[in-house]
Amino acid sequence: MRSSIAAVASFACIASAVAADSSNYQLRNGADLVSICSLSASDPNYANAVGFCHGVLTGAFRYYEATVTSANRFVCAPTPIPTRSKVMDEFVVWAGSHSAALKEPAVDALFRYLAETYPCKR
């Protein structure tokens, strides 16, 4: 019984530590998303940051695909579809020369990049 309680307590401490790391990720604007997506691989929170960034990128794009009809889309995924890491890295580079987008909501900045990089060809 004691070992079960200790295991649960250990798990709760680990979960709290992971949650504390991720709670620092706030997306008030494009600059916040760039900051998270460009965290150095040597940073102890790198894995959490990359996972968070990939989740935002994927979630935002999947929501867009689910809610915007094909005829109204302004962003279209190319063939072959780029990796999440490629999109994340290129978004960070793009943001470096589009400082106005950094003040916009994070998803708006992301879709400005996507619209310029992956426009629909009609």
Tell whether 104 is covered by a domain.
Answer: yes
Tens digits of residue pLDDT in 7-35? 333 333 333 333 335 567 889 999 999 99
Range of the domain at 55: 26-117
Tell whether 7 is covered by a domain.
Answer: no
Please state which of the ranges 18-22, 33-37, 82-86, 104-108 shows the lowest mean pLDDT.
Answer: 18-22
Tell whether 30 is covered by a domain.
Answer: yes
Chain centroid to CA 117: how far? 17
Answering whether pTM is above 0.85, one says: no
pLDDT at 21: 52
105 cis-preceded (ω within 30 degrees of 0): no
pLDDT at 23: 61
17 is written with which tokens? 């530590």
Quick check: 2 pLDDT over 70?
no
Count of domains for the chain? 1
Tell whether 95 is covered by a domain.
Answer: yes
Tell whether 10 is covered by a domain.
Answer: no
Of 65 and 20, the structure prediction assigns the larger pLDDT to 65
pLDDT at 19: 36
Tell whether 111 is covered by a domain.
Answer: yes
pLDDT at 22: 58
Residue 50: how many other CB atoms lie within 10 Å: 17
List the Cα angle 116/107/39 in 5-degree steps. 95
Tens digits of residue pLDDT in 40-50? 999 999 999 99
Tell whether 15 is covered by a domain.
Answer: no
